[in-house]
Structure 1
Amino acid sequence: MSLQYRTAGFKGYSVKFSPFTDKLLAAATSANYGLVGNGRLCVLNTPNAGSQGLVPRQQYDTQDGLFDITWSEIHENQLATASGDGSIKLWDITLNRHPIAQWKEHKRETMSVEWNYTAKTNFLSSSWDGTVKLWSPNSPQSLRMFAEHTGCVYTSSWSPRHSDQFASCGEDKTVKLWSTNEPNGRSIATFGGHVDQVVSLDWNKYSPELFVTSSTDRTIKVWDIRNPRGNVTMFGPFEFPVRRVRFCPFSPNFIATAGYDMSASVWDIRNGAVTFVHDAHTEFVFGVDWSLFHPGQMASCSWDEQIHVFNVPIPQ
């Protein structure tokens, strides 16, 4: 049984629970598969158990598609979006219309944004232009640029232990580890093991030297930053690629995946077993996230124009 919300005419690309309250959920969506047309930021109230659906709180339309979203770690009502026109917008959900800040330095689509949940004062963006940029919500320009990837950068994600470190992955089949304190702006390690584009990554919050990646080579890999020469574990190849991976915030042993098999699933990384499958979507699932307040509560969004919230058992 899941709570559902229909984003009529807009395909779901990313969904995120608020880090401040168990009552808010946001989704980044795009019309026409993100190729042309508007985007829409949907902010939803997640009601109590037994309710029949998700309740819209705010809705913002943009001139281009939205591909990702990140909640601010310092203002509970603010969040940033990544847009197909290369822009990043900062919104305040207590206001009804325009973004409160906007940046446009990327030369192509912005694919991901992630707030620094350790330092809390800055955030990252990654783009089809091959760069990752560091931002402060209080600065009119980016603080730094990181540009070693040789193609689209799909995801950049902060280390849960070191506030200056993050990893990025992209079209060039690599994952790169960076430090914002490196004076020359060069990566501090490169991980190569996938044989096609690496589209998603996330860190293990309990073992912060580990991160997981997914690729269009139809595999999932777990890596250790202390061993750039090879992955720790590999799952697959599968029939379809996995579009997004997220480590569980309540256990070191489980990841959630969203993929082209039209499902959101939970995996045990100790043995590669699938412990749960949410198969209520009817199109590609692009976004998945874990609630930080309710163990086992998850959200997913899909090209079927549906956002789902559901519960899964998390064994120890």
Structure 2
Amino acid sequence: MSMSGPRPPPATLQTPGFAHYSVTWSPFHNTRLAVASAANFGLVGNGRLHLASVSANPGGMLALSLDKQFDTQDGLYDAAWSEIHENQIVTASGDGSLKLWDIMLNDHPIRAWQEHTKEVFSVDWSNLKKDTFVSSSWDGTVKIWTPERPRSLMTLNAHHSCVYQALFSPHQPDILATCSTDGTLRIFDLRAPAYASGPNTNSFTNPLSASMLTVPASHTEILSLDWNKYRPFVLASGGVDKLVKVWDCRMVKPGAEPGAVGGSCETQLMGHEYAVRKVQWSPHRGEVIATASYDMSCRVWNTAPPAGQPQLMYINDAHTEFVVGCSWSLYDQGVLASCGWDSRLNVFRV
């Protein structure tokens, strides 16, 4: 990966009328992608889940094809593949619902949940506790789910405002991180919750809320975060301040005082001209991260090059609208997907 040399154009798939909100690769199939999208830029109208596959011609050029789609009554903001069923995927919707789909079936979801009171903006499936997924909502809560239960297992009052993303740690099954409109990252340990006390209280009507660490990451909204796959308690954040920041939170041990404030910023990546909407660490290289921005670009960075200063490795500026999603292939090192409000899915080699 470097900035030198000509590169082939990305493989592109257009989905007219539906602005993309997120893209994710299947953990089971190295050619399969899912895209969550919404009509009218998610402001009003229907949603659509697109299933696409990527292939390479004999010359190595990538190509994309649309395999299937599922329509919903409200916009879709995120999707996460099941870690236990290769054909199942959960979606997050603007009407506050979560839906589980089997891509081998047609038309209707196989399960649906309706607990959030506002838009569900992110969903993440644990790759350690593989029967569990988490959702985050504009209602300020984060909910833990399993597909077999009709109601959530746990609710966290994570922030007092919109929770843009919640992600399970790839290192410890009971640790998750959140980011919010309030400019903070928070880390929760699900093994040590602070229950509401008193008669007739329970974790459903009186949600759990104590974070083990709060990181004051920005004076403006934090739109995205991601755990480093190789360094426990190292996270990246991106948001309205146009910066990508790398945080080292390892000084906080499980059992520290609830609500501790800390985390040191070890690196800042500067260069995006507008808000950073998505950050994702490479699953193959611990120092490499991809970012997607409202400046219509998707970028790849080396956060720890030999020279010491973070290095911009690649810019994909093939989009014509906000770039809001990016996702690394889990199987093919250096293959990245990006999606945006231009209804365009791009897949390219970095």
- Normalized against structure 1, the TM-score is what? 0.96
Structure 2 residue 47 is matched with structure 1 residue 9: no
Larger radius of gyration: 2
d(CA) in 2 for partners of 1:225 and 1:249?
20
Q: Which runs of 5+ in 2 are unaligned?
A: 1-8, 195-207, 252-261
Match of 1:32 in 2: 40
Map of 1:198 onto structure 2: 222
1:224: how far off? 1.3
Contact 1:42 1:60 in 2 (8 A): yes
- Contact 1:58–1:96 (Cα < 8 Å) also in 2: no
CA distance in 1, matches of 2:108, 2:173: 31
User: Could you tell me which residue of structure 2 aligns to residue 155 of structure 1?
Assistant: 165
Q: Mean alpha-carbon deviation: is it higher for 57-66 or for 185-194?
A: 185-194
CA distance in 1, matches of 2:336, 2:158: 34
1:114 matched to 2:152:
no
| Distance apart, 1:229 and its partner CA | 4.2
Q: How far apart are the structure 2 equivalents of 1:148 and 1:73?
A: 25
Answer yes or no: is 1:189 the counterpart of 2:199.
no
Deviations 1:90-136 (A, max 9, x none): 00000011000000100000000000011111000000000000000
Letter in structure 1 aligned against 2:268: M
> 1:193 touches 1:230 (CA, 8 Å); kept in 2?
no
Determine the structure 2 residue equivalent to 1:41: 49
Alignment-mate amino acid for residue 305 of structure 1: S
Structure 2 SS opposite 1:53 = strand
Q: Percent identity?
A: 46
* Aligned positions of 1:56-75 closer than 5 A: 56-75=66-85
CA gap of 1:238–1:299, structure 2 versus 1, over 3 A, is: closer
Instruction: Work out whether residues 285 and 302 of structure 1, in 8 Å CA contact, stay in contact via their aligned partners in 2.
Output: yes
1:20 alignment partner, SS class: coil
SS at match of 1:33: helix
Asked whether 1:296 is paired with 2:334, we answer yes
The aligned residue for residue 232 of structure 1 is 266
User: Are positions 1:278 and 2:316 aligned together?
Assistant: yes
Question: Residues 217 and 237 of structure 1 are in contact (CA less than 8 Å); yes or no, is this contact kept in structure 2?
Answer: no
- Within the alignment, does 1:18 sit opposite 2:26 as a pair? yes
SS, match of residue 27 in structure 2:
coil
Q: Secondary structure at the match of 2:55?
A: coil
Aligned residue in 2 for 1:135:
145
Partners of 1:203 and 1:276 in 2: how far apart?
21
CA distance in structure 2 between the partners assigned to 1:51 and 1:296 by the alignment:
14
Which one of the candidate residues 63, 80, 97 is aligned to 1:87? Answer: 97
Aligned counterpart in structure 2 of residue 104 of structure 1, from 110, 114, 123: 114
Structure 2 Cα separation of the partners of residues 57 and 231 of structure 1: 42
What is the CA deviation profile of residues 122-180 of structure 1, one whole-angstrom value per residue up to 9, with x for unaligned ones? Answer: 00000000000000011000000110311000000111110000100000111110011
Runs ≥4 residues deviating over 4 A: none
Mapped to 1, the partners of 2:93 and 2:320 lie a distance apart of 25
Q: Does 1:166 align with 2:163?
A: no
Q: Which residue of 137, 143, 146 corresponds with 2:156?
A: 146
1:238, distance to aligned residue in structure 2 (A): 4.2
Q: CA RMSD in A?
A: 1.3
Q: Against the structure 1 CA distance between its residues 287 and 229, is the aligned structure 2 distance closer, same or farther, given a 3 Å change threshold? A: closer
What secondary structure, in the 3-state scheme, does the structure 1 residue paired with 2:264 have?
Answer: coil
The offset of 1:52, in angstroms, is: 6.8
Deviation at 1:215, TM superposition (A): 1.4
Query: What SS class does the counterpart of residue 56 from structure 2 fall into?
Result: coil
Which shifted more, 170-179 or 223-232?
223-232
